Amino acid sequence: MKYIPEPFKIKMVEPIRITTEQERREKIAAAHYNGFSLRAEDVYIDMQTDSGTGAMSDSQWAAMLRGDESYSGGRSYYELLETAQEIFGYEWIQPVHQGRAAEKVLFPVMIEKPGQYVIANTFFDTTRAHVTLAGGHPIDCVCPEGLDSEHEAPFKGNMDLPSLERVIAEKGVENVAGIVMTITNNSVGGQPVSMENMAATSAIAARHKIPLVIDAARFAENAFFIKEREAGYADKSTQEITHEFFGYADIFTMSAKKDAITNMGGLLGVREEGEHVPDVKSLVIAGEGYVTYGGLAGRDLAALAVGLREGLNEDYLRYRVGQARYLGERLDEYGIPYQKPAGGHAVFVDAGRMLPHIPWYQYPGHALSVELYIEAGVRSCDIGSYLMDRDPETGKQQQAPLEFTRLAIPRRVYTQAHLDVIAEALGEIKQRADQVKGYEITWEPKVLRHFTSKLRPAELRPVD
């Protein structure tokens, strides 16, 4: 598909600076080869994340001017509450400043004793970190198709149901604090989860009386994939699909900086207000702010209420997933390997296959990310072994199942011409792929190391 119908027109532009290759080499070296430490003004095309980087609509900006900044009980909170309850069908909705804040207040309540396990189709980095910080142990159970980037399947983000049952049996039901379904499954390429798989996971959770949580950052994209790919859903709206999908879970956390197309915000929802809610409310008040604003300004709440509806618009979603498909098709022209089919929010280049001479412990995904910045000023990020923190018990480096470089596409920001630049730059890198070096860490924090670590080009050495 070469034509992407864009359901909007551009009313304002932001100039971006085009640097030279020599400037970029100096900038990335000064940043200790960590893209997060670059100044945004030194980046030409920013594909580091789709979180909070989208362009808000005129309706969202208008809503912000009407935001009620009352400390408690503001109008904007109740407008958001009504919208979220209608979309998700949940009784209790708590705004927070972003998705990781929802995890921060939920997991200490869910994990009742140190050492309990939380199982997911795949955890993303902050979710994995918050489970660990709350004293729990995260375990991934993604379906086998999700671990083969060359194999095309419609729902590669699914939970591996036999593995889920086996882990529960091995660890003991009393030692499993919760199950998390991440939609779309970010770490395996923005791949969707089917309604059938969600229903089956819900049945397992209910049978064992284990809470089922949705990590709902990209719920609208997942709903659109179900509409496109799953039998019986072609004639259902994305709103209807979302309502059904969330009906299978007990709780959801959400970064609203993705599918609600806001620059800041998050949600925590509980289907039926019950025993955990008072404890969560206490943590929200202590760490985020009063429950009716949850760390957000009234104008942020107002933009979020509008964005939730805009994110479910099917013309918009068709364009949204179409951009990722277009970039994937351009990569096919250059023979660049990536997780197929392209995901909803990003294209995940398989750096392990593109740079097979770089061992996993020298982070091929990160190496390709650095090279892409040097080549064309494009900022991306590693979704691989560099993203994985060290094992909290042994201190050893952990190997990810796949070594990806993620090209996350901000919503309503870049044109097809920008995507063409990225594809052409990767084509140039492929021509000299064997010259690309790996990296080693010279300093790292204990948790979420990829955000602030310092690195340097590496010579081949054994893993420590």
Active site positions, annotated: 71, 124-125, 215, 217, 258, 450
Dmax (CA) of the chain: 60
**What is the separation of C-alpha 396 from the centre of its chain, rounded to a whole number of angstroms?**
25
Q: 362 and 17 in contact (C-beta within 8 Å)?
A: no
Helix, coil or strand: residue 133: helix
Query: How far, in Å, CA of 354 to CA of 365, rounded?
Result: 9
Q: Are strands 117-120 and 176-182 parallel, antiparallel or unpaired?
A: parallel
Q: 314 and 236 in contact (C-beta within 8 Å)?
A: no
What is the token pair recorded at 161?
A: 């149901």
What is the token pair recorded at 365?
A: 């995904």
Q: 30 and 338 in contact (C-beta within 8 Å)?
A: no
Give the helix ranges, DSSP H, for 209-345.
219-229, 238-246, 277-287, 298-310, 314-334
Query: How far, in Å, CA of 270 to CA of 368, rounded?
Result: 40
- From residue 175, alpha-carbon distances to 115, 119, 179, 430 in Å are 8, 11, 12, 47
